[in-house]
Structure 1
């Protein structure tokens, strides 16, 4: 039994060491440091990414210069995640380098090398172009600082093990496009907006038991993590609006049935209303091009 025990212990140690190695974090790309961000371009990128929708204090009003003090709570099957302070202050991200912020947004890695939970939608943000990230960081630097402390997440064992998020990334994190063959340049632009910084699939696509997106049912609707209602199917199999209807909704929040966007979608419309007419049309064209799911 002793040789068997020794071999078993050795095998466990080897597996553990391999698991530790593959669930580590990567370093940021070298080319991030060479980029110069444009704050005005970043203002639009900021709106597309929906940063204010999550990181403005839930008791505060939205404005053109939001205070990103955090505090909003997001319930999930894995616990409650609390949006942190990402304002340009020492309590937020003011002491981070531009490269560290871009690495966090794109790869879900903190300046200390820890994994962020995928409640932070870097699973979509990782499709963003580096220049868009640099522009976003430049705009974030212009916003008012907040000295509010970030509240801890309320996540119990085993989900509290940050290193395990590395395994989640190995299983589910990809920057490959979902719609593989856009028929036009407009649809390709819509794909970039929807699948990337717009992160529409993070809410409108169902997830598996481990929280990974079910790409076979892309944008086909999902349970609301907060427990109220269902997030709708926005593929052509359920959404029968015309492209013009979608464009108008993303601009005004009014539906073809003379209803109005409510709940979290109202925040989304505040963001998409800041995009250009061309980008709203690109989003509409993309939504009409994805596979229809009943």
Structure 2
């Protein structure tokens, strides 16, 4: 009996050790930023493309050319409520983080203490960005005003409050490959980068399974709003029959071909895409026309839709 109990204990310890190892953070290589210098000027446009301010500016705060990324915005989901943290260049934000720690958080979903970040922060899209682009964004954020606001904790119930379990989630649902594969034009490839990586449009426009993993077989086919307020629309060619010029116009001005104006979260997305170049907006349109059509019951984009291409919650700090 003693031997049997000892065997069971050894197996349990080995199993626990293996589980801990499998769910441990997968950090960027320590050399990832070797030879990389962030460019704040270039990072300003990339910051807009990535939608960082859309989530990290305090609720109700006035948007300016120098946003204060004090956090505090709340995002209700079926798993609980996530609260965007302070990511300003202050000790309460990311001021004491190294560039490597910030880039690692954005691209691997791991904070400065080595803890997993929740996928409410779209690192599962940013993991396809280039290290140079993320470093440029970090350089720009460091030029913005600091805020001494403390980051508020997420409001999650058991077992979703166990961060180590996110390592298992990553094993199941993290994807570092592109959704749209095949022979693409340079313009479509650029659009893919903007939509699938920096813009992380799929984080809201793609349905999820019961554990919150993206259903990539229905890429961009629309999904329930995570806060329970209607649906995010289908933007594949099966749901969005606009021309490329129509899409470009909407991304620049917010006006639709039906003489309407986008509203809800999409209005914030347009404020971001309006800062991109004409070529980048055209690339996004070319990509959206190239993705496979997927039928769904999601509504067409319009003035009252709850679209949110900037993501469910973009927590670049303690998410």
SS class of match (2:192) = helix
Q: Matches of 1:249 and 1:182 in 2, distance apart?
A: 27
TM-score normalised according to structure 2 size: 0.90
Aligned to 1:192: 193
State the Cα distance separating 1:31 from its structure 2 match.
2.8
Deviates more, 1:18-27 or 1:97-106: 18-27
Q: CA deviation at 1:3?
A: 4.4
Total equivalences in the alignment: 294
Residues 248 and 79 (structure 1 numbering): CA distance in 2 closer, same or farther, change over 3 Å? same
Matches within 5 A, 1:35-184: 35-184=36-185
User: 2 CA distance for matches of 1:256 and 1:212?
Assistant: 33
**Residues 251-260 or 175-184, more deviating:** 175-184
Aligned to 1:23: 23
Answer with 11-20 or 145-154: which moved more.
11-20
**Matched residues in 1 for 2:265 and 2:85: separation?**
18
CA distance in structure 2 between the partners assigned to 1:92 and 1:104 by the alignment: 13
C-alpha separation in 1, matches of 2:140 and 2:238: 38
Deviations 1:72-94 (A, max 9, x none): 00011111000000000010001
**In structure 1, C-alpha distance between the alignment counterparts of 2:2 and 2:217, rounded to whole Å:** 49
1:182: Cα distance to partner? 4.2
Higher relative contact order (CA 8 A, sep 6+): 2
Corresponding residue of 2:231: 230
Kindly tell me: are residues 33 and 92 of structure 1, through their superposed partners in 2, closer, same or farther at Cα, counting changes over 3 Å?
farther
Whole-Å Cα distance in 2 between the matches of residues 73 and 34 of structure 1?
37
Unaligned runs of 5+ in 1: none
> Secondary structure at the residue paired with 1:163?
helix
Query: Aligned partners of 1:268 and 1:152: how far apart in 2?
Result: 26
Alignment check: 8 A CA contact 1:71 1:85 kept: yes
1:248-287 map, 5 Å? 248-287=249-288
Larger fraction in helix? 1
Measured in 1, the distance between the counterparts of 2:168 and 2:34 equals: 28
Once residues 290 and 189 of structure 2 are traced to their aligned partners in structure 1, the CA distance between those partners, rounded to angstroms, is 10
Confirm or deny that 1:212 pairs with 2:213. Answer: yes
Q: Deviations over 1:212-232 (max 9, x none)?
A: 100000000000011111000
8 Å contact kept, 1:75–1:226: yes
- Whether the 8 Å contact between 1:182 and 1:188 is mirrored in structure 2 is no
Q: Aligned with 1:267: secondary structure?
A: helix
Secondary structure at the aligned position of 1:81 is classed as: strand
Counterparts of 1:25 and 1:34 in 2: how far apart (Å)? 24
CA-CA distance at 1:2 after TM superposition: 4.9
Deviation at 1:174, TM superposition (A): 1.7
Q: Let me know the Cα RMSD of the aligned residues.
A: 1.1
Supply the distance in 1 between the matched residues of 2:26 and 2:179 (Cα, whole angstroms): 24
**Corresponding residue SS for 1:32:** coil
Task: Report the alpha carbon displacement of residue 130 of structure 1 after superposing the two structures with TM.
Answer: 0.8
With the length of structure 1 as denominator, give the TM-score of the two structures: 0.98
Corresponding residue SS for 2:33: helix
Report which stretch shifted further, 11-20 or 189-198.
11-20
Report if the CA contact (8 A) 1:85-1:146 is conserved. Answer: yes
